[in-house]
Amino acid sequence: MIIPLARKILIHDWRRFLPAMFAVALSGVLLLMQTALVFGILGATAVYMRESNAQVWVGYPGTQTIELGRPIPVTAQTALLADPGVARVEPFAWFNGDWQGPPRAGGVSVFVSGVSTEPNALMFSRVLTPAQRALLDQPFTILVDRAELAKLGLPIGGRALLNGRLVKLVGVASGISAFGGVNVVASLATARALDGSSGGAEVEYYVAELKHGANAAAVAARVNREARGYSAWTAASFARNAVLYWMFQTAAGVSAIFLAAVVFVVGAVITSQTLMGAITGSINEYATLHALGVGLRPLRRVVLEQSAWIGACGLVIGVVISLGLLGLAQAQGVPADINLAVWLMCAALVMGIALVSGTAAVRVLRKADPASLLR
Amino acid sequence: MSALLASNLYKSYASGKLRIDVLRGLSIAVEAGRLTLIEGPSGCGKSTLLSILSGLQRPDAGSVTALGQDLWRGDNDAVDRFRLQHTGFVFQGFNLFSALSALEQVMLPLGYMGMTRAEAIDRSQAALVEVGLGDRIDSRPAELSGGEKQRVAIARALAKRPQLLFADEPTSALDAASGQVVIDILRRVAHEHDTTVLCVSHDPRLVSHADRVLGMEDGVILNDRKMQSVSGPEKDGNVS
Ligand SMILES: Nc1ncnc2c1ncn2[C@@H]1O[C@H](COP(=O)(O)OP(=O)(O)OP(=O)(O)O)[C@@H](O)[C@H]1O
Ligand SMILES: [Mg+2]
């Protein structure tokens, strides 16, 4: 087209289109932020995978999330070690504990993690220092996240009953808070002693560090081929399963989708109204073009192109606002988790809002009846 | 051979329970190279006739032969194509995009005709020069007077080099001087480009400059006057 009509109108009447651009941008921001927050909050369920240096996890078959783990046979460890891609294997015990803290602290749901106390252990390798691990070498000692101290009502050095046994809080770490309860980290030996249900040697998980260059998915697939009574996953897929499980278990996913639909509709309504207003304002000009022989199809394309530009501008505005808000969230310690897929999904939804609006607004062009110019 | 031939045109509008018969078996022949004018009392159906002859509105019955083609035989797309190729319009309103300069207004339809940019610029500049706006090609509608806007609208119609040019009350929104300019342009287009110019107007000056005046009343043509034009002596030989 030798005269880019859509763009010319958009630039000349930018004030008229600005509300639509912001509607589209804010729709995108809302979609992005709510997704980031949902993933950020639910991301706590994947803290075990995220903060550990293990690439492959082995647990009870079909386990969706760490809380649903069951003891698995010790043969899992030998099977893992037999794999050519595996460098080392570490047991990891996990169970739901019965916590009796100081009076008036109220009931607290605690999750007990039994981890290796070796200085270079895999579990929580990103958040626990060797010194902190060494503290756990003493029997019946525990660590919790700094943020949980208030919830437990316990100072460092304080004691409480865990599964009926007296334990001592010997330190705090940061980055080990759990989703829906308090994570208590103990040594494997302490965990075994505390866990009444497990019959001694069995643990719920084995985690493996791979040799340099080994592919986690390939190792997991190989282990699964021979697995009896246990199952292997890559750390990434186990983490993803956990987030998705809680997303739909807690209705967070459903409400996120519902809110997304509302945002989509509101954004599309505002944008299409703006476009319709713009078309109506120029309806005689469009009718004149139609009289001069320009078909309705090319005129529709003008409107759709305008909506695409509104989407593109809204996208840019939205990205800027989102980056600002994500920065703010990070500065305030609000959990927000975002990845490329979410960015792309929100971008697609934003363009979808714009194009759906354009398609809706195109109807107004039917009023561009050139015969109405002759009266 | 007439450029525009209509026979037995009928058109009625439903207005609530009432049916208004606007055209009742109207027939008309319009020649190329002349400025033909239709006049008549308000509401007698002049604009309706123009819209049917120009391919903007389908008649209820009757046929229109434009440039030897049965205009209303095809579907709407075919009529759109015919208008794109052959017709220009000048309306009472100027209907210019406020976002475009005079040159761009004129170039816009040419782009849809599949013309190259260079060709469209040449033609548009020539058309703007022809209507006396050669020095205002970069002006937006907001910077133009009413008469200048109407001249841009005329240039937009002329740049297509249409064989058929339709104008509905082109001077009614203009002052005397601007009206005269527009009249001169329409007349010149008819005589110099051999264009069929069909114009609806009450303007007595336009009446006196037309080559032929058709008097319309109540949906039929009542009288047909061939005029001996008072101006443009060099082309008077074309008439009669
Ligand atoms: N779309 C329509 N619906 C209903 N009635 C219409 C419509 N268009 C025109 N009419 C009626 O048809 C009649 C002729 O209208 P038209 O516009 O052709 O008149 P006109 O001769 O151009 O009048 P004027 O000189 O005032 O412009 C009028 O009575 C008008 O009210
Ligand atoms: Mg009229």
Number of domains into which chain A is organized: 2
**Amino acid identity at A80:** L
| Residues 6+ positions from A216 with CB-CB distance below 8 Å | A55, A56, A210, A234, A235, A236
Q: Looking at beta carbons, which residues of chain B come within 8 Å of A9?
A: 97, 99
Q: Which of B9, B37, B46, B207 to mutate to test the pocket of ligand 1 (most atoms within 8 A of CB)?
A: B46
Q: Which of B44, B53, B198, B218 to mutate to test the pocket of ligand 1 (most atoms within 8 A of CB)?
A: B44
A213-220 average pLDDT score = 94
Q: Which residue has the higher pLDDT, A103 or A122?
A: A122
CB-based burial of residue B62 (10 Å sphere; 0-12 exposed, 13-18 middle, 19+ buried)? middle
* Cβ-contact A65, A262 below 8 angstroms: no
The tens digit of pLDDT for each residue in B141-167 reads 999 998 899 999 999 999 999 999 999
- If you take atom 25 of ligand 1, which residue's CA is the nearest one? B42
**Ligand 1 binding pocket includes B201 (Cβ within 6 Å):** no
Ligand 1: nearest atom to the Cα of B14: 4
Predicted pLDDT at B238? 43
Predicted pLDDT at B178? 83
Report how far Cα A327 is from the mean position of its chain's Cα atoms: 17
The tens digit of pLDDT for each residue in A235-248 reads 999 998 988 888 88
DSSP string, A102-140: STTS---EEEEEEE--STT-STTTTT--HHHHHHTTSTT
Q: Which residue has the higher pLDDT, B1 or B208?
A: B208
Angle (deg, nearest 10), helices A283-291 and A252-281: 70
Q: Is residue A283 located within the same domain as residue A303? A: yes
Q: Is residue A220 located within the same domain as residue A257? A: no
Q: Looking at beta carbons, which residues of chain A come within 8 Å of B88?
A: 292
What values do phi and psi take at B115, rounded to 5? -80, 150
Ligand nearest to the CA of B91: 2
A297-322 average pLDDT score = 94
Predicted pLDDT at A105? 64
Whole-angstrom Cα distance, residue A246 to residue A71? Answer: 22
Predicted pLDDT at B233? 42
Ligand nearest to the CA of B167: 2
Q: What is the ipTM of this complex?
A: 0.88
Whole-angstrom Cα distance, residue A322 to residue A25? Answer: 9
* Cβ-contact B109, B160 below 8 angstroms: yes
Residue spans of the domains in chain B: they are: 4-237
Predicted pLDDT at A200? 66
- Cβ neighbours, 10 Å, residue B188: 17
The tens digit of pLDDT for each residue in B96-117 reads 999 999 999 999 999 999 999 9
Q: Is residue A38 located within the same domain as residue A131? A: no
* Cβ-contact A122, A90 below 8 angstroms: yes
pLDDT band at B232 (very low <50, low <70, confident <90, very high): very low
Mean pLDDT of all residues belonging to chain A: 90
Whole-angstrom Cα distance, residue B86 to residue B161? Answer: 8
- Count of A–B CB contacts within 8 Å? 101
Reply yes or no on whether the pLDDT at B213 is more than 90. Answer: yes
Report how far Cα A268 is from the mean position of its chain's Cα atoms: 26
Predicted pLDDT at B216? 93
- A228-245 b/e with 16+ CB inside 10 Å = b? eebbbbbbeebbebbbeb
Report angle CA B132, B104, B138 to the nearest 5 degrees.
Answer: 55
Q: What is the pTM of this model?
A: 0.80
Q: Is residue A100 located within the same domain as residue A195? A: yes
Last residue of a domain, one of A193, A227, A248: A248
Whole-angstrom Cα distance, residue A49 to residue A297? Answer: 54
Q: Is residue A173 located within the same domain as residue A310? A: no
Reply yes or no on whether the pLDDT at A25 is more than 80. Answer: yes
The tens digit of pLDDT for each residue in A33-67 reads 998 988 888 888 888 998 999 999 999 999 999 98
Predicted pLDDT at B204? 83
Q: Closest Cα partner for A206 from A82, A35, A349? A: A82
- Cβ neighbours, 10 Å, residue A29: 23
Q: Is residue A29 located within the same domain as residue A154? A: no
Predicted pLDDT at A153? 84
Q: Is residue A112 located within the same domain as residue A149? A: yes
Asked if A266 reaches chain B (Cβ–Cβ under 8 Å), the answer is: no
Q: Is residue A144 located within the same domain as residue A259? A: no
Predicted pLDDT at B229? 55
Smallest Cα distance from A268 to chain B, Å: 25
Q: Closest Cα partner for B5 from B91, B72, B56, B57? A: B72
Q: Looking at beta carbons, which residues of chain A come within 8 Å of B51?
A: 370-371, 374
Q: State in Å: Cα B198 to ligand 1 middle.
A: 18
Q: Is residue A60 located within the same domain as residue A37? A: no
Q: Closest Cα partner for A187 from A236, A259, A115, A122? A: A115
Task: Tell me the C-alpha to C-alpha distance, in Å, between residue A194 and each of A65, A94, A152, B134, B238.
Answer: 22, 11, 18, 95, 115
Asked if A282 reaches chain B (Cβ–Cβ under 8 Å), the answer is: yes
Q: Is residue A333 located within the same domain as residue A198? A: no
Domain assignment of residue A198, given as a range: 46-248
Predicted pLDDT at A260? 87
User: Which CATH code of 3.40.50.150, 1.10.3720.10, 3.10.129.10, 3.40.50.300 fits the domain covering B4-237?
Assistant: 3.40.50.300
CB-based burial of residue A357 (10 Å sphere; 0-12 exposed, 13-18 middle, 19+ buried)? buried
The tens digit of pLDDT for each residue in A260-280 reads 899 999 999 999 998 899 889
Whole-angstrom Cα distance, residue B20 to residue A372? Answer: 17
**Amino acid identity at A266:** V
The tens digit of pLDDT for each residue in A144-191 reads 998 888 888 889 999 999 988 999 999 999 888 887 788 999 999 999
* Strand partners for B62: none
Smallest Cα distance from A355 to chain B, Å: 23
* Strand partners for A310: none
Q: Closest Cα partner for B67 from B161, B2, B159, B113? A: B2
Q: State in Å: Cα A45 to ligand 2 middle.
A: 74
If you search the block for the tokens 């007349």, which residue do you land on? B187
Q: Is residue A257 located within the same domain as residue A354? A: yes
